[in-house]
Amino acid sequence: MEYVPVIGLEVHAQLQTESKIFCGCSTRFGQAPNVNTCPVCLGMPGVLPVLNKRVVDYTLMMGLATHCRIAAESVFARKNYFYPDLPKGYQISQYERPICEKGWVEIPVEGERRKIRITRIHMEEDAGKLVHEGRGGAASLVDLNRAGVPLMEIVSEPDIRSPEEARAYMQTLRDIVVYLGICDGNMEEGSLRCDANISVMPAGSEIFGTRTEIKNMNSFRYLSQALEYEIQRQTEVLEDGGRIIQETRLFDSAKGVTVSMRGKEEAHDYRYFPEPDLVPIRIDPEWLDRIRAGIPELRNEKITRYAQDLGLPEYDAEVLTAEPGTARFFEDILAHGVEPKKASNWVMGEYARLLKDKGTEAASISPEQVAEVIRMVDASTVSVSGAKQVFEEVFLTGKDPGAIVREKGLAQVSDEGAIEEEIRAILEANPQQVQQYRDGQEKVLGYFIGQVMKATKGRANPRLVNEILRKMLKGR
Amino acid sequence: MSLYYETIHSLHEKLREGTVTSTMITQSVLDRIREVDEKVHCYLTLTEEAALEAAGQSDERFRKGDVSGPLDGIPLGIKDIFLTEGVRTTAGSRILENFVPPFDGTPVSRLKKAGAVITGKLNMDEFAMGSSNENSGYFPTFNPWDRALVPGGSSGGSAAAVAAGEAIATLGTDTGGSIRQPASHCGVVGLKPTYGRVSRYGVIAFASSLDQVGPLTRDVRDCAIVLKAIAGHDPADSTSARVPVPDYPSLLTGDISGMKIGLPEEYFPEGLDPEVEAPVRKAAEALAKRGASLVSVSLPSTRYAVATYYIIAPAEASSNLARYDGVKYGVRLSDPGGLLEMYRQTRSKGFGPEVKRRIMLGTFALSAGYYDAYYGKAQRVRTLIRREFEEVFSRVDLLLSPSSPTPAFPLGDRLEDPLRMYMCDMFTIPANIAGVAAVSLPCGLTPGNLPVGVQLIGPAFREEILLNAAYAYEGERGEFPKCSL
């Protein structure tokens, strides 16, 4: 019997606000423990939360970008449980009346676009971190820098039908939050987190099987691996006549398996109730309009535009838009009147290579300067290889391309007369090779070109050299 | 009369005239504390040195003519539920025995900014849960009128201190009657402002949607002075109201002609203690003599108020008290048994029995399968009660009732019967549920020489109407005797 997986993903995105969600503490990552704290996020007696409006702005952007229905009035709720990284003994989250509901995104699946529905999006505060010390966890240290950092939780309907789709969905969500500028989308650092609910059912069935929850998948690769493994595991259990136990399982990345947390977990009753210390948020149409006006062109829109309007291949469009910074850079080059495919080649080629080798901080080349380099190639002012040299120099120093051409003497010799002179000299000096060529050995041409380039220190226009060489060889 | 028994406004006159100094007043109060506190146990923490220093600074301001206002230089006691920077704050609980806050809560900082002198922290029922001050984790407070009796609670220390001269006025909190009921038992004025009138930031939370901060004073004018100093929007409290603060003291005209005062029949039940009913009805007549008309009204949902309260308050408390877990501050009782054992030891030993009772009640009311039947239902009934008040205030200006069904009762009398203890608050709870303002005024003495309080309830954010009627009554009643301590 063939089994089909049914997957729903719960994604948490850390929002890139300056301050935490309910107090003014900094959200900056990587500080000494408990430096970014105040009485409010420490959960001291007598403190009260005050909502950071930017958190709502960012969540509204996400809701609009994913076609959600935005609540006219939304409330916060307390999720009650005890753990040392949760200072108040409850997390302020949302339960009934979340801010966004019933949206969707489209994901690419085998050349087609499939709609994955979003059940809800809501806001909540993050908990702190525990650092376990000593053998066998002799002591635990509590770092509350992260307590109160704003999170956006996105829950999908169980519409996902394969690990590939799950990955595409995660990638799509990541693209949206990164393009909106609300989250840096880093799964390895934990600013984008993902838990999965997964079950399998016989192909053609409409009744979902018992699901398990999978946690601790902190990269796209681990997400695929974990889901593959779990599908396999559940299928085998059912084929052996067993039943799936509803439980939470952790992904063990070292072994590539999911492990049951049974025995450590009891069913949590979070005793949700509306947060009495916060008033309901009212979202009026004017607020939504302002948010809507501020939403930039998203990745999938750019890909479509690049392909349809700019005539770029889909591959180019996808590479150029993988990060919004690259896309912006590319578009800024176009603004200086460069052909899209040429700009694309340079960005995907030399620019990408240098970014990787030298690092993003080293990049000092402006879009205008890239456009100038391209123009110089078009005008045959430099050869392509000369242009690459110029490009790298501008990248590292930010100096004017024209100045670099002059300084390094990279100006291409395109004076036909001068080239003829050089070629004549070389042909005269190499009568044997001339004869070889005329006898049919085409390869000798390469030798002559090499000689010309050497004589001109690489500055002769290769196209012209080739043309004139052939002409002169044929001619005499 | 000794300085420690004077009012804020009479002392302010003298300070302006230069016939007394803040240091003299403060010393008078501190001496009084030394003289009587071992008999009544109002204070948990005394801050003598800091008080005298603040008094000295006030005196300097008076010398320069740089006075902050009517509270400048006046010694006030603060219920130990308010966070005071550098001064131990316990909420009457052993679990915070060693907690020293790093900041002042808003009500305290506003009083300090007004130049008030803080004498110390006052005893209370643990985490504000109680009606007798017997639930304090430290010791009970005795009623200065009769030390075999309770002062009421949870602001028992605050009320007793004003009655005994151990502070000129005090600050308390009222969640179900915790200012008004002890004020009634101790013969002082106690006001619960409208919910949201005064900031709750820096006030240890019991029930977030019910807690309110308010003054306990010797007379209505003092009450208006303190309310003006502490009221007003606070950005640190999202539930504090953006409603302008009237100049309450200047609105005390005493003119209440044409005012309609409703007497709700549910607050004068069959079997109400005649020792309470008689002085309360006399108070109503006094108001009528000043030009108000008395109207009989009915608030049928009153009978659900106590039950509603005892679901909502414990539910919110069970969540608010979850932070006392021994991890970050306060007491930690460790056992090498791991996290769960640490939680158990700390909370079992750190909390008293009434607190544990309410945490369990509240946890149950919020738990899966019971939420709708209890918490959900209670919130819906709450809306009905609130609407009933709104409706009655469209027909009358104020309501009048007894503050408490009985005068002060003996220590130990109701400790074994929590439900009987809860009924102490039957007349005060509805105002908290509806979020409206209410004040208790001393209106008479029982034959046994115990104070009886009359309660006036007014519409939301109209404390000026409430206080003016109280002021008119006070004028008609005349001087109220002091306790004999």
Spatial contact of B22 and B55, defined as CB atoms under 8 Å apart? yes
Question: Contact A48/B236, CB-based, under 8 Å?
Answer: yes
Quote the pLDDT of residue B278: 97
Distance (Å, rounded) from C-alpha B480 to C-alpha B184?
Answer: 13
Instruction: Enumerate residues 6+ apart whose C-beta is below 8 A from B303.
Output: B266
Question: Contact B322/A90, CB-based, under 8 Å?
Answer: yes
Question: Contact A271/B208, CB-based, under 8 Å?
Answer: no
Chain B residues with CB under 8 Å of A84 CB are 325, 327, 339
Quote the pLDDT of residue B134: 97
The Cα of A375 is separated from the nearest Cα of chain B by a number of Å equal to 58
Quote the pLDDT of residue A265: 54
Q: What is the 3-state secondary structure of chain B?
A: CCHHHCCHHHHHHHHHHCCCCHHHHHHHHHHHHHHHHHHHCCEEEECHHHHHHHHHHHHHHHHHCCCCCCCCCCEEEEECCECECCECCCCCCHHHCCCCCCCCCHHHHHHHHCCCEEEEEECCCHHHCCCCCCCCCCCCCCECCECCECCCCCCHHHHHHHHHCCCCEEEEEECCCCCHHHHHHHCCEEEECCCCCECCCCECCCCCCCCEEEEEECCHHHHHHHHHHHECCCCCCCCCCCCCCCCHHHHCCCCCCCCEEEEEHHHCCCCCCHHHHHHHHHHHHHHHHCCCEEEEECCHHHHHHHHHHHHHHHHHHHHHHHHCCCCCCCCCCCCCCCHHHHHHHHHHHHCCHHHHHHHHHHHHHHCCCCCHHHHHHHHHHHHHHHHHHHHHCCCCCEEEEECCCCCCCECCCCCCCHHHHHHHHCCCHHHHHHCCEEEEEEEEECCCCCEEEEEEEECCCCHHHHHHHHHHHHHHHCCCCCCCC
Domain ranges (residues) in chain A? 3-285, 297-408, 416-475
Quote the pLDDT of residue A445: 85
Quote the pLDDT of residue B267: 97
Question: Contact B322/A50, CB-based, under 8 Å?
Answer: no
Calculate Rg over the CA atoms of chain A.
30
C-alpha dist (Å) from residue B57 to B21, B54, B108, B313, B335: 11, 5, 17, 41, 48
| This prediction's pTM | 0.92
Quote the pLDDT of residue B108: 98
Quote the pLDDT of residue A457: 79
Percentage of residues in chain B with pLDDT exceeding 70?
A: 100
Chain A's closest residue to B200, CA to CA, is: A46
Min mean pLDDT across A114-128, A439-453, B27-41, B317-331 is at A439-453
CATH code reported for the domain at A416-475: 1.10.10.410
Percentage of residues in chain B with pLDDT exceeding 90?
A: 94
Query: Could you say which of A88, A142, A277 has the minimum Cβ distance to residue B322?
Result: A88
Question: Contact A279/B236, CB-based, under 8 Å?
Answer: no
The stretch B406-431 carries a mean pLDDT of 92
Domains in chain B, start-ordered, CATH in brackets? 3-262+399-477 (3.90.1300.10), 303-380 (no CATH)
Confidence of residue B200 (pLDDT cuts 50, 70, 90): very high
Instruction: Reply yes or no on whether the pLDDT at B24 is more than 80.
Output: yes
Distance (Å, rounded) from C-alpha B427 to C-alpha B419?
Answer: 15
Query: Could you say which of A44, A51, A88 has the minimum Cβ distance to residue B329?
Result: A44
Instruction: Reply yes or no on whether the pLDDT at B359 is more than 70.
Output: yes
Question: Contact A271/B371, CB-based, under 8 Å?
Answer: yes
Query: Could you say which of A43, A50, A80 has the minimum Cβ distance to residue B238?
Result: A50
Q: Comparing C-alpha atoms, which of A217, A152, A147 is closest to residue A183?
A: A152
Distance (Å, rounded) from C-alpha A23 to C-alpha A50?
Answer: 6
The Cα of A37 is separated from the nearest Cα of chain B by a number of Å equal to 13
Instruction: Enumerate residues 6+ apart whose C-beta is below 8 A from A205.
Output: A4
Question: Contact B238/A90, CB-based, under 8 Å?
Answer: no
Distance (Å, rounded) from C-alpha A444 to C-alpha A452?
Answer: 13
Chain B residues with CB under 8 Å of A50 CB are 235-236, 238
Distance of CA A141 to the CA centre of its chain: 33
What mean pLDDT value characterizes chain B? 96
Ordered strands of the A192-202 beta sheet: A69-70, A100-109, A112-125, A150-156, A3-14, A192-202, A212-215, A248-252, A257-260
Q: Are strands B75-79 and A112-125 parallel, antiparallel or unpaired?
A: unpaired
Chain B's closest residue to A278, CA to CA, is: B238
The stretch B310-333 carries a mean pLDDT of 95
Instruction: Identify the segments of chain A with pLDDT beneath 50.
Output: none
Query: Could you say which of A46, A90, A271 has the minimum Cβ distance to residue B83?
Result: A46
Quote the pLDDT of residue B422: 87
The catalytic residues of B are 79, 154, 178
- The HSE-up count of residue A194 (CA atoms within 13 Å, CB side) is 28
Quote the pLDDT of residue B371: 93
Quote the pLDDT of residue B335: 64
Query: Could you say which of A47, A273, A277 has the minimum Cβ distance to residue B315?
Result: A273
The Cα of B323 is separated from the nearest Cα of chain A by a number of Å equal to 4
Quote the pLDDT of residue A136: 66
Interface with A, mutate which of B87, B327, B340, B383 (most A CBs under 10 A): B327
